[in-house]
Amino acid sequence: MKTLVLQLSLALSLFVNASALAETAAKSANKLLYMYRVYYLPFGVDFREGRTKNDILPFRGMTAESSELMTADDLTSLDRQWDTIRDGWKRRSLFLSTPVAVGASARVAPRLVSHKISLSRSALDTLAIPDRIQINDLLRSKAPEVQAEFKQLRFLKSFIDEKDEGKFNMFIFSASWCSSSREYRALLESYLKSAPQNDVVLHSVVIEDPDQKIFDAKVLKELFPHQDRYTHESIPKFIALENIQGKSVVYEEGDALFALYERYLKPMRGFLNKQSFMFRGQPPATQRGLASEPSPSPLLRAGSLSK
């Protein structure tokens, strides 16, 4: 067990990193846009933002030069097929089938970690009470933005094993009642099971919320303190953490999805084209032997997202 001195040294180290992050405020990438792109990853569909952040337009084709705007009927037809494909992935989902007690964590696969926390959980709960008191005293004189960055980082690191600290840790936070979140947990799990990258760890964090009070809870305010930066206030919520040259870097909401998609998922685009009546005959974006895999879930439209 770490001594108090070591714990405070860790706190100071995190505080320095959080201070650096506090200087880089920027508007997040469009969360809804990247939710669509992630959701339809197995098919040759691209999405672009229209006149507003809520206008997301579907295009058939991998590049701007070869794309054509899809109709509502096109998308509905694709969704029908998507609905029949997704059930296999959901039935085999370790996130959905492995029970985890409130307050516990379980590594359900080498790159998949499942957590369940209470609605009252806070950033410093895993520390001893005397340590919490000293850290709060340390932070009291700091600016609110710096305090928020510190608590966010401390919260995220409490979910990460030491062996995962050098990896890209992607989190999906969801309320226990949210069906949309269940879809995305199964979807991202299925992608990472097939993806060749070994430096991504996916964390499913389910927040027990029997009375649907999550949007007013402290837990979301500590994990997602920059509401003015986010394009959409909805769940599931996404965040990623990685270590770059010794500094912790946090990507929130749309930026987390952007980083995951552009770095790790985009090369897999279209891998189910050969199985789709709508895209059959078009070559998949990449050849990884993935076309024989069963497929994930249907699109979750903006209207089905909570709040």
pLDDT digits (tens, 9 = 90+) for 87-139: 888 999 999 999 999 999 999 999 999 999 999 998 888 777 777 777 777 77
pLDDT at 281: 55
Contact 34, 257 (CB under 8 A): yes
Which residues, in sequence order, are CB contacts of 133 under 8 Å at separation 6+? none
CA distance 37 to 280: 20
Q: How far apart are CA 215 and CA 238, in angstroms?
A: 15
User: Confidence band (pLDDT; 50, 70, 90) for 155?
Assistant: very high
Q: Is the peptide bond before 236 cis (omega within 30 degrees of 0)?
A: yes
Q: Is the pLDDT of residue 154 over 70?
A: yes
Supply 178's token pair: 């949210």
Q: pTM of the entire structure?
A: 0.83
Pairwise CA distance, residues 19 & 23, whole Å? 7
Listed by start position, the domains of the chain span 4-304
Over the stretch 249-278, which tens digit does the pLDDT of each residue have? 999 999 999 999 999 999 988 888 877 766
Three-state SS sequence of 1-57: CCCHHHHHHHHHHHHHHHHHHHCCCCCCCCHHHHHHHHHCCCCCEEEEECCCCCCEE
